[in-house]
């Protein structure tokens, strides 16, 4: 769970627990058990949503790692082929092979 979500859940749960213990004194202040039950349900939804986001972050991290590995291979192949062209052909012919001279 992210630190922000974890802290909010903890603070909210502590508040709910305190309010439930003193519910009889809070009735005339507009706080009732239904509101606290609703807050508890919202906290549970927040936990579930946060867990889903954590899983998505984990999956994204794996995909980014795999993509970066492919990118490294493509870059290496590109550099190798470009080096071959530059090594065997004069600069005037590089463009014919798709190698731009950016000196």
> Could you tell me the residue range of the domain that residue 46 belongs to?
3-97
| Domain assignment of residue 78, yes or no | yes
The per-type count for the chain, helices as H runs and strands as E runs, is 3, 0
| Domain assignment of residue 102, yes or no | no
Task: Report CA Rg, the chain.
Answer: 30
Task: Say which DSSP state 52 is in.
Answer: H
pLDDT at 102 over 90: no
| Domain assignment of residue 44, yes or no | yes
Cβ–Cβ under 8 Å, residues 19 and 30: no
Q: How many domains does the chain have?
A: 1
| Domain assignment of residue 77, yes or no | yes
pLDDT bin (cut points 50, 70, 90) of residue 101 is confident
pLDDT bin (cut points 50, 70, 90) of residue 103 is low
Report the pLDDT averaged over residues 72-91.
Answer: 96
Q: What pTM does this model have?
A: 0.70
Q: pLDDT tens for residues 10-68?
A: 999 999 999 999 999 998 999 999 999 999 999 999 999 999 999 999 999 999 999 99
């Amino acid at each position: 769970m992210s630190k922000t979500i974890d802290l909010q859940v903890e603070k909210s749960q502590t508040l709910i627990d305190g309010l439930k213990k003193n519910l009889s004194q809070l009735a005339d202040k507009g706080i009732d058990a239904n509101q606290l039950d609703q807050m508890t349900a919202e906290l549970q939804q927040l936990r579930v949503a946060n867990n889903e986001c954590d899983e998505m972050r984990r999956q994204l991290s794996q995909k980014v790692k795999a993509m970066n590995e492919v990118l490294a291979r493509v870059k290496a192949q590109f550099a190798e082929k470009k080096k071959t062209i530059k090594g065997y052909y004069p600069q005037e012919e590089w463009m014919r092979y798709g190698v731009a001279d950016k000196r």
